[in-house]
Structures are given as structure tokens and as C-alpha cells.
Structure 1
């Protein structure tokens, strides 16, 4: 198997055609974790109301990493506002983790050594902050080692991350040409 060049992967990530439901831009990538990296940030909004955001970083070390079990590693973080009932549901962690693994599997992304956490935050303001609205959100932090035999193999991982961003915000990752009903928490114009 011929190793895929990092510059080709970086270009492929930055030139990827994202869903129109997800606004993506390049952000500064970490420089101390690996010799090569690229990072993007995406936000999901409906009618100007941001429902969630995420980051995706591709780390690459041609020498490999025992911890990664490979030469490349995706690191993802997703944060999304959720209904209070979902934030307090004891199964929310299992559900959010399944969004990641199901997305990777549904796009035929080849990966291994996946790891991560799901955090549910329920914030209730008190005292001088009592007038502030309650806040309920989930955060998924995950990493996995992609198997990239060819540059285009990265596409399945990008499509998976896109789906993960949308699913965490309660939006079906249906193709752009199919109209969907916005999630209940989106403000109606």
C-alpha cells in the first residue's frame, strides 16, 4: 500500500463539497501534536439560529504513532444545543456515540482505534443570573485512525463528520435536494 501524501489529503479536505446545511471554514491546526495537521470548523444554523458546531482535525505523522495505530488520526469535537429531556437522558452518551460509529459505517469509512467521550451539560442559572435562559447541550469528543489507501478515501470520513454535525443538531443528513422539517428548537421566522 502506497502512503497517501498529506498535502493531497489537506487539499481534499479544504476543497470538499459540504452540505449547504453546514458552513465550514479552515481554522489554525495544532502544531505540537504531529508534524502535519489541518483543521476545519463547521456550524449548523437554521434561519440564523446556530444549533451546534464542530471541529475536525487530521493529524499526520509519517513515522506513525503507537497510540494511533497508524500514521494519521482524525480528532473531532461536536457541540450542540439539545432539549432538556435529551440532555438529562441517561442514554444520551450511547446515542451520540452511535451517531459517530453509524455515520462512519454508513459511508463505508475504514477506521480503527476509535476513542472518545460524550458529555451532557444541563446549566440552570440562579441568583443574579436567574433571568438568563437555561442551557442544555451535548459535547462529543472523538478520535479514530482512518485507513487511507488513496486520497479519495478521506471523503467517507468527511461525509461522516458532516452527518455527525447535522445529527447532533437534530437535522437529518438527507441530500440537499430533499426538503426536511427543521428541528423543533429552531426559531421560526
Structure 2
């Protein structure tokens, strides 16, 4: 069923939030698509997946890769009209971001805290209104063996976070998440050039 049909059965606040997210424009280094939303976390949900692209691949919307060489992420909007006490509101945002690290940064004890501060700074820079933020930052260090020995050692930073937006104007939250992905991938801040979110699969609700 199309959104225009199902919107009659969906709370207006969720429709407004969903439309705000779909109208966001992001940097050309990001390939962003709607993906299937989780089914058991809330009555209504929307999910996005993003890859950080090398310059030669920017533009177009190919099938999403779950583990981009340059970085990847997820953005999930949950909506429960009952406003769960743990959320402190009817909406809750969950995000995931990961990117490879240089080996020397992988052993930096402050890197996890830096990643969290980047997320908070990115949201505040976009004037996203939110509260009840929580999350974890994890450094993953891997070593290849056997047929993977040639891959050598690798380090990734993974950030998982959630927060409660104060209203349904959620474009700033998506923009902040996109800025975080670019920061983790080592891309400089820029306001030049944007790319629209690619429509891939519909939302739930």
C-alpha cells in the first residue's frame, strides 16, 4: 500500500516526523536509503541505512552494503503514542555509526569519548532538540589468520546511541547523524553539495 493510503491509519505526529526525515538533503559522500524498519521495538518505525562513499562512487543509489570500507551507519526512528516512561516522550531515535580507524587511533584511550562528543556536537550544531541521550562507543581490533592473514590488523570504531527528540521536526537529527558519519570517516566539514535520501523500502506504520 502506498503512503497516501496508509497515512489515514497512522498518527499525524509520526507522518509529520517521517516526512521531515524524507525531505532531508545530505552530503554527496553519503549514500542513504530507507530500509525495512524493526518490527518489535515500537508500533511505528522508520529506518535509514548509510554508506560513506569514495569520491569515484558518489551519485546514484546502489544496493546498501552492510559494512562499507569507508564507514556505515543506521538511523531508526521509533514512535509509540503511549510515550514509554523510559523514553520520556513518544519518539525515540536509535543510531549506529562505524568507521575504520588508523592503527594509532585504535589504541588511543580517549578515542571513544571523542566519538561520543562528536555526536553531541553534531546534533547541537544542527540545533536538534533532544534529551535522555545514552550510548556506547566501542573500538574493535581484529587480526586476520589463515586465508585472511594477508588482511593484517584492522581497527574499527562503533558508536551506538539513542535519544529522545523534543518534537517531530526531525530533519536536524538526520543531518547531525550524517555529519557524524562523515566525521568518523575523516571527511572535513562542508556545506557544498547535497544528495537526497534514496527511497528503497517503505516504513512500517
From 69, 76, 80, the equivalent of 1:57 is 76
TM-score using structure 2 length: 0.79
3-state SS of the aligned residue for 1:163?
Answer: helix
Using CA pairs under 8 Å that are at least 6 residues apart, name the structure with larger relative contact order, 1 or 2. Answer: 2
From 140, 145, 150, the equivalent of 1:131 is 150
Say what the alpha-carbon RMSD is for the aligned residues. 1.7
TM-score using structure 1 length: 0.85
3-state SS of the aligned residue for 1:62?
Answer: coil
3-state SS of the aligned residue for 2:21?
Answer: helix
CA distance in 1 between partners of 2:154 and 2:138 (Å): 14
From 116, 120, 123, the equivalent of 1:97 is 116
CA distance in 1 between partners of 2:189 and 2:163 (Å): 21
1:97-127 Cα deviation digits (max 9, x unpaired): 0011001111111110000000001111234
From 120, 126, 130, the equivalent of 1:107 is 126
3-state SS of the aligned residue for 2:20?
Answer: helix
1:57-93 Cα deviation digits (max 9, x unpaired): 0000011011111110010000101101111110011
Counterparts of 1:1-189 in structure 2 under 5 Å? 5-46=13-54, 47-48=56-57, 50-148=69-167, 151=168, 153-177=169-193
CA distance in 2 between partners of 1:176 and 1:21 (Å): 11
CA distance in 1 between partners of 2:105 and 2:161 (Å): 20
Further displaced range: 153-162 or 124-133? 124-133
3-state SS of the aligned residue for 2:46?
Answer: strand
Choose between structure 1 and 2: higher strand proportion.
1
Q: How many residues align?
A: 172
Gap runs ≥5 in structure 2: 1-10, 58-67, 194-205
Shift of 1:176: 2.1
Gap runs ≥5 in structure 1: 178-189
Label 1:4 to 1:159 Cα distance change in 2 as closer, same or farther (>3 A).
farther
